[in-house]
Amino acid sequence: MKNMHFKRKLPVPQQIKERYPLTAELAAVKAARDRAIADIFSGKSDRMALIIGPCSADREDAVLEYCTRLASLQEEVADRLVLIPRVYTNKPRTTGAGYKGLLHQPDPAGGSDLLEGVIAIRRLHTNVLASTGLSTADEMLYPADYRYISDLLSYAAVGARSVENQEHRLTASGLGIPVGMKNPTSGDLSVMLNAIAAAQMGHTFIYRGWEVETAGNPLAHAILRGFVNRHGEALPNYHYEDLEHLYWSYERRGLRNMALIVDANHANSAKHPEHQRRICKEVLHSCRHAPHLRGMVRGFMVESYLEPGCQAIGGGTYGKSITDPCLGWADTERLVKEVAELI
């Protein structure tokens, strides 16, 4: 094609998995985590899930240190919470400009190198599991790329800009892990609920050059992340009335395994990460006053890193976000312990 240059053919996921295999021991650890996390979303467990970590996983050493600290914290709250490290290696960009994540740029200050990126994301997710015993979460930004790390993830999210896309919905129907569907940036909950319905159904479609058939994913569920109105203002959708509205919308639809993750950042906090602690506590307060909401709310998504705030690429502060601002570690620890106490 005149406007598209085919640079090189990348290895297929099976080739990358054979080159960088998951050991049987780690596969067993991951399988146990999968069961524990699935039990939360199916309602078999009364624990909550906390998908927590940096806005973007930009460098392996800092992410591994963060996850190591998280693993120690997991031991303290194991009876109340399952912590799932948010290791996001793909970043959606509103205009297409800016850092697109580890997959695109293994060196954030360098250019795109998707071959090295595929290797880098597999190595990072593997090393987190091997070092901490915690299996991870990532955003399914590119459905075809999911297969490179499909044996490593215990949770996947479909973002606000992707949730209406047919390929994302159909691919989610074939994943054997919980998949969170975010409300779109417009806030239209019917789009999110349609995505959940589609993901819970079986489908036949073309995927990576194959005709595939899926059984449907009963653990597809909702993520409320706030929305942006027609004036470009960020508005929340985590208040009691929002939760009630979603509960009854779920009921009318008859969807399986009613479940909600509240994203405490993005438009819900207007990207002020320091509000995430308050938001989590408000949601849990609503749950205490309405037991049916506690049955729906299965956890939170939180953006945090070693250092608070954010910096430009090359800013030089170890463990500080180079995309959206995050909580620092001290507030992360407070948030996790507060949520565990209030459940």
pLDDT in tens, 185-208: 999 999 999 999 999 999 999 999
Average pLDDT across the chain, whole number = 96
Is residue 6 a part of any domain in this protein?
A: no
CATH number of the domain that residue 282 is part of:
3.20.20.70
Average pLDDT estimate for 112-141:
97
- Structural domain boundaries, residue 225: 13-342
Is residue 58 a part of any domain in this protein?
A: yes
Average pLDDT estimate for 140-144:
96
Residue 1: pLDDT over 70 = no
User: pLDDT band at 239, cuts 50/70/90?
Assistant: very high
User: pLDDT band at 94, cuts 50/70/90?
Assistant: confident
Is residue 8 a part of any domain in this protein?
A: no
pLDDT in tens, 16-37: 999 999 999 999 999 999 999 9
User: Which residues lie across from 82 on neighbouring strands?
Assistant: 49
pLDDT in tens, 32-58: 999 999 999 999 999 999 999 999 999
Whole-number Å distance between alpha carbons of 78 and 203: 37
Sign of CA dihedral 91, 145, 11, 23: positive
Q: In this predicted structure, what is the pLDDT of residue 78?
A: 98
Q: In this predicted structure, what is the pLDDT of residue 63?
A: 98
User: pLDDT band at 91, cuts 50/70/90?
Assistant: confident
Is residue 49 a part of any domain in this protein?
A: yes
Average pLDDT estimate for 168-194:
98
Catalogue the E-assigned strands of 229-285.
234-235, 260-263
Residue 256: pLDDT over 90 = yes
Average pLDDT estimate for 277-283:
98
Going by C-alpha positions, the residue among 93, 34, 40 that lies closest to residue 261 is 40
Is residue 62 a part of any domain in this protein?
A: yes
Is residue 326 a part of any domain in this protein?
A: yes
User: pLDDT band at 93, cuts 50/70/90?
Assistant: confident
Residue 97: pLDDT over 90 = no
Is residue 1 a part of any domain in this protein?
A: no
Q: In this predicted structure, what is the pLDDT of residue 96?
A: 78
Q: In this predicted structure, what is the pLDDT of residue 13?
A: 97
CB atoms near residue 252 (< 10 Å): 9
Q: In this predicted structure, what is the pLDDT of residue 158?
A: 98
Number of domains in the chain: 1
pLDDT in tens, 311-339: 999 999 999 999 999 999 999 999 999 99
Give the pair of three-digit tokens for residue 84: 């799932």
Average pLDDT estimate for 274-282:
98
